[in-house]
Amino acid sequence: MHHHVRVGQAAVDLGRGLVLPNPVIAASGPFGYGVEVADLVDLPRLGGIVTRSTSLRPRPGHRGPRMAEVPAGMLLGMGPQNPGLDSVLERYAEVWARWPVPVILSLCADTSSELGEAARRLDGVPGIAGLELNLSCGGGRGGGVPGLDPDAAASYVAVARRSTELPVIAKLTAAASDVRAVARAVESAGADAIAAINTLPGFVPSADRRGPALASDYGGICGPALRPVALRVVWEVAQAVDLPVIGIGGVAAVDDVLDFRIRICEQVHLPDKCIFDLAGQFEPLVGGTRREIAQGADDLLTGSFGGMDGLHQQVVGVGLVLVSAGGLAHVHSHYDKRDLLRNQEALSWI
């Protein structure tokens, strides 16, 4: 069955009881675990929050430098830094349970068995509304990145599906050679929704061109530069599966949200833009998206845009990405990317 938002309503049903009050979601990463920005952002106005990716056991991040500027974006090499699942639940689960906004915990794992164990621990935990599986994780202990291969991606999703009754969202990467095949595989394995996309691998040289700019050599491209790739992948995925699709990548304004929703999403993650200017954009994005849903839902949900008749509308959300708590302390109505680069240590938690 197709998943639709009813005309005139902002709520989004992701299945298994997870209903988001509106289609604007804080994407995994820069919001941390939510508490870091709770005094800076009106979190209840969001449709949901996806936490930073969390592993079964603690992981260190990459050493610095971790960030570099690229045209229309940033290159981030933070690594999988997190305190581990037990510590995250101890610190935050009770807080999340008191929040009116649904919290979706992002999970990363080197193996499907690790992922299954993490999912089992989360089943029935108050404050956890759903799981996002970061299929760009992996590579540890000789393993590959599961999101690149349909069979590997399906195995991760299948294990999670067997391990929990929580809604499972599979987060895909544009680096896959055939993202449609990956999308169909995770759908068959039991995913309730798909999120697309994660950052794309990139590389830039250091200022003296004697080596890489990042200590990790490679990093993930984010920001407006990523948006055309994200739109392409969401377009392809939405035609390949019969699941809700959450669009992520380079959302900087209400028009960007609508670009996803025209065909692509009924729900929008707002990730990368706010690295540049969160305070000036957060309210227009949330408020503007709600107004557009109310005023233009007929066009958005019936495919009445030129050349799009007959395309099913299951893009349900868009993800918003912010800067770190340290970075946000410097964000007012304007924010210079160079200030962010000079404050890399403030982003150690991202």
Q: Which residues are known catalytic residues?
A: 137
Residue 144 CB burial class (10 angstroms; 0-12, 13-18, ≥19): exposed
Q: Of how many residues is the chain composed?
A: 350
Beta strands of the chain (E only): which ranges? 12-15, 18-20, 24-26, 48-50, 67-70, 73-76, 103-107, 130-134, 168-172, 193-196, 200-202, 219-222, 245-247, 268-269, 315-320
| Nearest-angstrom CA–CA distance, 144 and 41 | 37
**3-state class (DSSP) for residue 201:** strand
Contact (CB, 8 A) for 128 and 93: yes
Beta strands of 217-276 (E only): which ranges? 219-222, 245-247, 268-269
| Nearest-angstrom CA–CA distance, 347 and 345 | 5
